[in-house]
Chain A
Amino acid sequence: MLFGYFDPGSGSLLAQMLVGGGAGLVVLARYVWDRMMHRP
């Protein structure tokens, strides 16, 4: 995925999951889990 002419910010992409209803929270939880499992 390529973004436009500016960086939308990682934190801002994730913050949308918080206001994106139940589905957003599930995605965010799975994101956190994925990061913990694939820590560099």
Chain B
Amino acid sequence: MTMDDGALERAAFVPEPGSYRDGSAQVFYVGQRVLRGLDKAAAAEWEEFKVTQFFSQSQQDGRLVRTRELAGTEAGQLDAPLQRWPKILEHERVPFISYPYEWSFSMLRDAALLHLDLLEEALHEGFTTKDGTAFNVQWMGVRPVFLDIVSFERYRPGAPWAGYRQFCQLFLFPLMLRAYRKVPFQPWLRGHLDGVSPDDFRKLLSWRDCFRVGVLQHVLLHALLERNVSETSQSTQARLSRTGLGKAELALDIVRSTVRHLRKTVQRLKFNAVSTSWTGYVQDNSYSVADRELKARFVQSTVTEIKPALTWDLGCNTGEYSRLCADVGGYVIAIDADVSCIDRLYLALRAEGRTNILPLVGDLADSSPNMGWRGRERKGLVERGRPDLCLCLALLHHLVISHSLPMEEVLQWLAELRCPLVLEFVDREDPLATRLLHGRQDGCPEYSRQNFERGLRQLFDIEQCAELTDSHRTLYRVRPRA
């Protein structure tokens, strides 16, 4: 995190491609620093917002991203295109950007509750949020942080909450989808960046779901009103003002009740984790005690030597090796395709109070792509920051055997990360590998240690190698050739 009071380095400014929707402000990067330019109207809102007790309190407890205003002299050092903004803020840098379609159920739920808590507290001091999107929240480890400072604006008497629909589409309905229908929400959020509409979500519910908490008001009647009210939002707002909402206190009470009702509904949504082959992986795997210790020492010595600022643990499962890396230092992205594993890991890390491990749902065979407007609004995994070290432990056989990915291409992809790797190769004789191979009619002949090592030597220098003698597995520490 860089938020020095010193002079800004003369680095090129890069506008954030995803920061275009709210025209009153623009996020851009100067070197490692994150800046936000505010137009005249947003600057006026900021002047009022920054002196509230709510702002200073949420800055102290870290729920709102740490923010400071650039002094005139500092702003004067910026490139000419940035000078057009009357006010420039600097934000604490989030170690790794993630998106709601990469979060587990409990992560999305905690992000939703943070949003509602902040909104309720802001309302007490006469502020509201102009939107309700899940993309406003990011993570410092397992601590959710609200990023969009300009989302806070002075509450205008008589107005309902403009962010209600977004909140439902990007927080509430995805959570209900998982809690009530046991359907993972991640593919739905990845499929549509605006989330699940009330009318689409209504169609996914069974008659039994109609009696569940929050469904009648937030889904069924919400969808019914959307389908049947054809007038514009402005006309609806004007008519509501005429029919009673014009009274400032009354409208504010209604917004507060809405927030309370949403919170109560979100709090009652439960994950109901299902046991998968991955949640019991640690108990079911074939490691002896000696092999586990050897593996841990191998990883630890690598991390201690390399001292990575950012580590990716691909196929992290319980996060055993993510913790090991985090203990040495740096920030760890723990990625696994299994949503139950990631939810358990998130809850465990939250209980441990860890601040330097971010668990994410991700399938390497179908990883987050560049998407949104011009394919730049939301970025793929690699585009958000390459790691300094990547752990790929007992993962390759799943990618090659189960997902039928060509081994050469998997190694090529890993080499393109341009960082040292710790790889674990599982022999065909390993009980878990054998089980996977039974599912392949062709027997997956390309999956052999000989082929693996040949491919490895073409792309990497092998720096260290250790055989796990009891379990048909070998560890490699490799570095891609320049």
Contacts and interface: CB of A to CB of B under 8 A. Distances in A.
Interface of A: 1-21, 23-24, 26-27, 30-31, 33-35
B21 A23 contact: no
Nearest to B242: A34
Contact of A15 (B130, B222, B257): B222
Contact of A1 (B130, B225, B234, B257): B234
B234 A3 contact: yes
Contacts, number: 130
18 contacts: A1-B159, A4-B22, A4-B130, A6-B21, A8-B165, A10-B226, A10-B230, A11-B224, A11-B226, A14-B236, A15-B218, A15-B221, A18-B222, A19-B261, A21-B253, A27-B254, A30-B243, A34-B239
Nearest to B250: A23
B286 interface: no
B23 A27 contact: no
Contacts of A7: 233
B168 A12 contact: yes
Interface in B237-251: 237-245, 250
B257 A9 contact: no
Interface string B17-36: 00001111000000000000
Given A1-B156, A20-B257, 11 more contacts: A3-B237, A5-B131, A8-B165, A12-B164, A12-B168, A12-B226, A13-B236, A16-B160, A23-B244, A23-B254, A34-B242
Nearest to A9: B165
Interface of B: 21-24, 130-131, 153, 156, 158-166, 168, 198, 217-218, 221-245, 250, 253-255, 257-258, 261-262
Given A13-B160, A34-B243, A5 B231 contact: no
B254 A21 contact: yes
Contact of B164 (A2, A15, A30, A33): A15
Contact of A10 (B161, B168, B217, B225): B225
